[in-house]
Structures are given as structure tokens and as C-alpha cells.
């Protein structure tokens, strides 16, 4: 097999087209002579070995084929030369096709006639073919793979055929010598090819340099003409030129200063950029080490800044970043330096601090500077920050170590709930490493069957019937044990693995719900959907696949979405969710009241249900009663069903029922139930409802209260061993 690809050791010219044209020119330059020489060699071979009556006719037939190939090659060569060499690559390919065809003809003769040739004639033909192969390293030097391919064609197959025809020790020796000769030819071909390419590149460089010199000469001549014309009013032109030069020098000086500033500062905030800060931190750490002083590095990440960008746009986000930079810079201690690290992250270098306590005080002062609301066009936003601190030399001596340690401390503070200051500890780095291990293991959780679903009932306060089962994800790792969803779901969302996990959970939840048909009016199944799943654009197809695979009616599938998802980009999200609602799927806002709420868009959301977050339920007896009441009133006004999650006490049950909450979920009803035990729990709850109806008849009451329902269901389920 032959190719026209140049070898790697020689660097290609910038103008590859001209290089290929020159390579093709070198191939075709003496090609006619080479074809003629091949025809003469073929004729001589036929005259020398074709006199035998046994194979003379075959030799002359082969000679005719070779002459036809030579004539075709001569025609192609002449046609390419007349075309003016327009396409070097195409020319090399056509040339390679001719060489390949010519080599195949030689191989055909060896294949057919070597078995019947006498030994001396086989040796003669093999020598001729090896000689032609050695000539290729020169005539085909501009294409290494043509030269190498043709040489291999002309030596390796005939040598093998020779050995097959002569299985004596002499045949093996001929093959060994031929292979050695082939290796020498290939080495020579590579050396010649590299020399040709260097020559071509040198020629291209000379031509480019000559063109540049000619252009420079033309420019010089034009300048001389301009100078001669300018002599008519020399004194005036000198004054004008002097003035222009002064302006140009001033402009270039200003431009150079601007380039220097841009290279070392952040264009949005005017603060030092990452590269400048790292360089100065290195120098400051070196000075601090020599003087035996401490140095603090603070890594600041703005909290909830993404919501400003998503809800109010990037222009508002830029305004907030500039204001944050101004406030931080105004509250820096003496000799400290502030830089924007990227996005909504800032770093501070505070030299000559006494101890960690002073560093924490600096961090709290900077956070305090951010608390005041930042005015935008129509409203105000409040920004806070999470700060991680690293100390030199305790936590690191290089700029990379210090910044990484401060970043780890900041990340740990984020995990603990944001809006706080955290000093670096080695345990934080260890914890981050363990999180990395968990994140790596998470990628195989679905395929290895480590994930499972539990289901928690949601019951009606009016009928006591289980309306819905919420699917809750559980991960049990064989080595790490049970890992809480709050630990691995945020990791999955950051890495993008949540899309595959969510798709699996959706399918499994629908399959499980389809098996609950053994009870009257089986409940629906509610599945939490991550914002990453929605924004991936595949949610509708994933839902369709899950319903099709499980044969679950769409009316028995509820999707729970976080409130912040709608606030982030509800113009893009709402149409997609509305499409799911048209399929009969119910949509709920999960953790309502904890996101970035706005009544201006709440009335237009394509949702059916809102779920009051458990944090408000837990604090109803202190400060959240009014909030829960307000959420219920909003739900009624907008015709939303209202579910309270996290209900754990009888007082909460009674109070929420009095406020008008329509459905409850929590430990007072049931803890999450493993998937295989849900049918038994549902059967027990149905019987408990019947017991409750009988009890209601006896006490001549109306619809049973939530408290009666809880007592009877709990008794029934506990008696049957399902809870």
C-alpha cells in the first residue's frame, strides 16, 4: 500500500500547497525517463528469460501488459505536465497509482512464473526487481511512502515467492539477504526524503524572503518618491511631521500603558487578575519567610450570586461584581491586596498579620462590607460571602499551596451552609479527598446496582387515603456503607451524573408504581427532578420512555421541581414543563418558600401543587406559623394543592389541618418504606381506612379527622408488621 503523506521528522512549510506542488514536480520531472527505463528493463528481462517454450508466451503476454502500463503512465505524465501542476496532492496520488500498478505487474510475473523458472532465472528477475527498488529511493524521494511502498512491493513478495519455489537453504538465504537489503533501502529512502523536504522548505523560505525583500524595496522606493515630493514645502512638512510624531509617541506610550494594565488587571472590576496576584503573593511569601512574619490568604466566594445573574441578567451581575470589588477594596487592611480570581470569586493577601484571630477579624470585616443592599435599576439585592483562610507558613509556603488551602476552607464552609468564615485545617483537605472518592464511586453506582428507591406516603387530610408515594433515592456502597442523599446528590449535580441517575430513578419509580395496582385506587408516584435534568433538554423524552417502559398512566406520575429552577430561567423552563402537564402529569414545587420567590411569576407557573418545606413545619411553634399560613393562602388563591412535608407531631398535624393543608407527609404518617414493602403497606392502609370508617360510624362523626386516621392506620400497620 502506498501513500503520499510526508514523514514527521521534517517540519512542514507554512504554505503546504506549494510544498506539495514542488514534491509532485520532483516526481514527474524525470518520470518519463524512468518509465522508458522500466520498458527497456522489461524488454531485456523477456529477451533473457522468455526464450523457453514452456513460459515464453506468458513472458511476452506480461511484456505487453507492462508496455500498456508504461504507455498509460507516459500519457498521465504528459497530461499532468500540460495542466500546469494545479494540484500537487492529486498529482502525487495519480503518480502513486501508476507506481502501484507497475509494482503489481512485477509481482504478478513473479507469482505466476517463479514456480516454473529455473533457479538462475528466478535469481536474475529478483536481482532486477531489487535494482528497480533501489532506484526508487532516488526517483521517488519526494514521497517517502511512495518510495518505501514501491521498494517493499518490488522486494518482499518476490523474495517470499522465491523461497516458496526453492525451499532449500539457498532460498532462505535469499529471503534473508533481500529483507536486509529492503531495510537498507527503506533507511536510505527516509534519509533522501528528509533531505528533499529540507531542500523544498529552504527553497520556499528563500522565495518568501526574496518576495519580502522585493516588497521592502518597493516600499522604500515609494517612500523616496514621497520624500522627494515633500521637499517642495520642507519646512512646513517638518513642523507637521514633528507634531505628528509627538502625538504618535504619546499615543503609543498610552497604548503600552493600557496593555500593561490590561495584562495585570481584571477588565470588569479593575482589580489585579489571577496571574498578577499569584506573582505578588509569591514575592510577599518570600519576604514574609525571610522576616519570620505571618501572611494570610483569604478566598471569598459570593453567595447566591448566580440567582442575580439568572433572574436579573448579566448586566446586573456585572454591576454587583463592580460594587462588591469597590466595597472590599475600601475595607482592606493596610498593605493588603485584593484580586478577582474569576467569576464571583475574590482573593485577598494580608501580610504581617499577628495570628489566625486577626485573619478571621479581617474576613468578618470584609463580609460585613457586603451586607448592605446593592441598588439595581428597579430593586435592591443583598449579597453575602463565604470566606476560607490559609496562613503562611502554617498551611503552605507557595502561592499554589496557600490559595488551594484557602479554597478548600471556603468550599468546606459552603458545605456547612454558606455565609461564614472558615480557617483551613488538614482535616478539610482530607474530607475533600474523601468527597472525591465518593464522587468517583458515584459514576458506577447505577451500573453496579448500588442505588435503590424508598417511598414515603403522602395522605389526604380529608379522606385519609394515601394519594401519592414520593420516591426517595438511597445509595448503599459496598465499602463506604449508606451515603446520605444530601452528600452525593449535590456532587452528582455538579458533575452532570445526576442526569443518568435521575433517568434511572424515573424509570424505576414508574415501574414500581405500576406494580401497586393490587389495591383500590393505587396512589401516584412523585419523583424529584433535578434542575440539571431539566436544563439538559432530555426530560420530556426521559419521561416518555419511563411511562412507555412501565405502562404507567401519566396521571399517576407527579414530578417535583425546586422553586429556584423556575426563578432561574422560567421563560425557557415553563414551556417544557407545560408540555408534560398536557400529557396529564402533575407538577409540584418542592421546598416552596426556600427559593427565590416572586409573586409576579408565581401565578403563571405551570404547576399543580406546592410543598411547604419541612424547615417551616419544624418552626411553626416559634416563628414560622405566619409563613405557613401565608403559603396556604397563596396556594388557595392560585388554586394550588398544598402539601406539608416533614410532619412529625400531633400538634403539627392539628395545626396544619386547621390552616387548610390538604395533604400531609412525614414520620407521623410513615417513614420511607423500601420498594418491595410498599404493596404490603398499601394493603394495610386500605384495611385501616375501613376500620376507621367503622369507627366513624360508631362515634357518629363526619369525615374522620387526621388524628383519628393516624391512630388507626398506625395501629393497623404495626399489627401487620409493615412499619
Show the cell assigned to 65. Answer: 501488459
What is the phi/psi pair of residue 538, to 5°?
Answer: -110, 5
CA distances from 504 to 212, 393, 557 (A): 65, 48, 15
Mean pLDDT of 23-51: 75
How confident is the model at residue 504, as a pLDDT? 94
How confident is the model at residue 52, as a pLDDT? 67
Task: Classify each residue of 370-409 as buried b or exposed e, where b means 16 or more C-beta atoms within 10 Å of its C-beta.
Answer: beeebebeeeebebebbbbbbbbeebbbebebbbbbbbbb
Mean pLDDT of 667-673: 90
Q: Determine whether domain 443-674 maps to CATH 3.40.50.720.
A: no
Q: Determine whether domain 274-424 maps to CATH 3.30.70.270.
A: yes
If one compares 400 and 689, the residue with the highest pLDDT of the two is: 400
Mean pLDDT of 511-521: 86
How confident is the model at residue 705, as a pLDDT? 45
Give residue 141's pLDDT band: very low, low, confident or very high (50, 70, 90): low
Calpha distance 678→666 (Å, rounded): 16
Mean pLDDT of 181-193: 75
How confident is the model at residue 452, as a pLDDT? 92
Q: What are the domain boundaries of the chain?
A: 16-207, 274-424, 443-674
If one compares 322 and 700, the residue with the highest pLDDT of the two is: 322
Residue 556 predicted with pLDDT over 90: yes
Residue 92 predicted with pLDDT over 80: no
Give residue 439's pLDDT band: very low, low, confident or very high (50, 70, 90): confident
Helix, strand, coil content of the chain in percent (nearest 5)? 65, 15, 25
Asked if 298 contacts 358 with a C-beta cutoff of 8 angstroms, the reply is no
Measure the CA dihedral 610/611/613/619, to 10°.
100
For residue 339, the cross-strand partners are 272, 347
Mean pLDDT of 259-270: 74
Largest CA distance in the chain: 126
If one compares 365 and 488, the residue with the highest pLDDT of the two is: 365
How confident is the model at residue 711, as a pLDDT? 55
Amino acid at each position: 500500500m502506498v501513500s503520499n503523506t510526508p514523514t514527521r521528522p521534517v517540519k512542514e512549510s507554512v504554505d503546504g500547497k506549494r510544498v506539495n506542488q514542488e514534491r509532485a514536480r520532483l516526481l514527474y520531472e524525470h518520470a518519463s525517463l524512468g518509465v522508458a527505463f522500466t520498458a527497456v528493463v522489461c524488454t531485456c528481462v523477456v529477451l533473457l528469460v522468455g526464450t523457453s517454450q514452456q513460459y515464453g508466451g506468458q513472458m511476452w503476454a506480461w511484456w505487453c501488459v507492462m508496455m500498456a502500463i508504461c504507455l498509460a503512465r507516459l500519457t498521465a505524465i504528459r497530461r499532468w505536465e500540460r495542466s500546469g501542476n494545479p494540484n500537487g496532492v492529486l498529482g502525487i496520488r495519480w503518480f502513486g497509482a501508476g507506481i502501484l500498478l507497475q509494482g503489481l505487474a512485477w509481482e504478478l510475473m513473479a507469482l505466476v512464473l517463479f514456480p516454473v523458472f529455473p533457479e538462475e532465472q528466478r535469481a536474475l528477475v529478483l536481482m532486477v526487481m531489487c535494482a528497480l527498488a533501489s532506484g526508487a529511493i532516488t526517483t521517488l524521494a519526494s514521497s517517502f511512502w511512495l518510495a518505501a511502498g514501491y521498494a517493499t512491493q518490488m522486494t518482499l513478495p518476490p523474495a517470499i515467492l522465491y523461497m516458496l519455489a526453492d525451499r532449500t537453504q539457498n532460498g532462505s538465504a535469499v529471503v534473508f539477504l533481500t529483507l536486509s537489503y529492503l531495510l537498507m533501502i527503506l533507511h536510505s529512502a527516509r534519509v533522501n526524503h528528509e533531505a528533499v523536504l529540507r531542500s523544498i522548505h529552504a527553497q520556499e523560505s528563500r522565495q518568501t524572503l526574496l518576495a519580502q525583500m522585493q516588497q521592502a524595496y518597493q516600499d522604500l522606493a515609494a517612500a523616496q518618491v514621497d520624500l522627494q515630493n515633500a521637499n517642495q514645502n520642507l519646512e512646513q512638512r517638518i513642523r507637521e511631521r514633528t507634531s505628528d510624531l509627538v502625538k504618535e509617541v504619546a499615543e503609543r506610550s498610552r497604548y503600552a500603558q493600557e496593555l500593561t494594565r490590561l495584562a495585570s488587571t481584571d477588565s470588569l472590576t479593575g482589580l489585579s487578575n489571577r496571574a498578577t496576584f499569584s506573582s505578588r503573593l509569591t514575592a510577599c511569601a518570600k519576604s514574609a519567610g525571610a522576616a519570620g512574619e505571618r501572611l494570610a490568604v483569604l478566598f471569598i466566594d459570593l453567595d447566591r450570586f448566580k440567582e442575580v445573574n439568572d433572574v436579573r441578567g448579566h448586566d446586573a451581575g456585572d454591576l454587583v461584581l463592580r460594587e462588591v470589588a469597590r466595597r472590599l477594596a475600601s475595607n482592606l487592611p493596610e498593605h493588603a491586596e485584593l484580586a478577582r480570581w474569576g467569576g464571583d470569586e475574590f482573593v485577598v493577601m494580608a501580610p504581617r498579620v499577628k495570628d489566625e484571630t486577626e485573619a478571621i477579624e479581617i474576613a468578618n470585616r470584609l463580609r460585613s462590607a457586603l451586607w448592605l443592599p446593592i441598588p439595581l435599576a428597579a430593586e435592591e439585592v443583598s449579597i453575602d460571602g463565604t470566606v476560607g483562610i490559609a496562613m503562611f507558613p502554617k498551611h503552605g509556603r507557595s502561592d499554589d499551596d496557600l490559595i488551594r488551602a484557602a479554597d478548600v476552607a471556603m468550599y468546606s464552609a459552603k458545605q456547612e451552609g454558606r455565609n461564614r468564615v472558615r480557617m483551613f485545617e488538614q482535616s478539610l483537605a482530607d474530607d475533600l479527598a474523601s468527597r472525591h472518592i465518593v464522587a468517583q464511586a458515584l459514576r458506577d453506582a447505577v451500573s453496579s446496582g448500588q442505588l435503590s428507591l424508598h417511598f414515603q406516603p403522602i395522605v389526604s387530610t380529608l379522606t385519609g387515603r394515601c394519594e401519592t408515594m414520593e420516591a426517595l433515592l438511597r445509595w448503599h456502597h459496598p465499602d463506604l456503607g449508606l451515603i446520605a442523599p444530601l452528600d452525593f446528590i449535590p456532587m452528582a449535580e455538579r458533575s452532570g451524573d445526576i442526569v443518568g441517575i435521575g433517568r434511572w430513578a424515573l424509570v424505576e419509580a414508574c415501574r414500581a408504581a405500576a406494580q401497586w395496582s393490587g389495591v383500590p385506587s393505587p396512589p401516584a408516584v412523585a419523583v424529584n427532578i433535578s434542575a440539571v435534568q431539566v436544563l439538559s433538554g432530555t426530560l420530556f423524552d426521559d419521561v416518555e420512555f419511563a411511562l412507555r417502559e412501565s405502562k404507567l398512566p401519566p396521571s399517576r406520575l407527579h414530578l417535583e421541581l425546586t422553586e429556584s429552577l423556575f426563578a432561574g430561567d422560567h421563560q425557557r423552563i415553563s414551556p417544557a414543563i407545560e408540555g408534560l402537564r398536557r400529557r396529564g402529569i402533575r407538577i409540584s414545587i418542592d421546598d416552596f418558600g426556600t427559593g427565590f420567590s416572586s409573586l409576579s411569576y408565581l401565578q403563571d407557573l405551570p404547576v399543580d401543587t406546592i410543598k411547604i418545606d419541612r424547615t417551616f413545619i419544624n418552626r411553626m411553634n416559634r416563628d414560622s406559623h405566619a409563613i405557613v399560613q401565608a403559603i396556604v393562602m397563596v396556594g388557595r388563591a392560585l388554586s394550588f394543592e398544598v402539601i406539608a412535608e416533614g410532619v412529625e407531631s400531633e400538634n403539627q398535624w392539628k395545626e396544619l389541618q386547621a390552616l387548610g393543608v390538604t395533604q400531609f407527609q412525614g414520620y407521623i404518617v410513615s417513614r420511607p418504606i423500601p420498594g418491595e414493602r410498599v404493596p404490603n403497606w398499601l394493603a394495610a392502609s386500605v384495611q385501616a381506612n375501613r376500620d376507621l370508617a367503622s369507627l366513624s360510624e360508631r362515634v357518629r362523626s363526619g369525615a374522620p379527622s387526621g388524628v383519628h386516621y393516624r391512630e388507626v392506620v398506625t395501629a393497623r400497620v404495626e399489627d401487620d408488621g409493615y412499619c
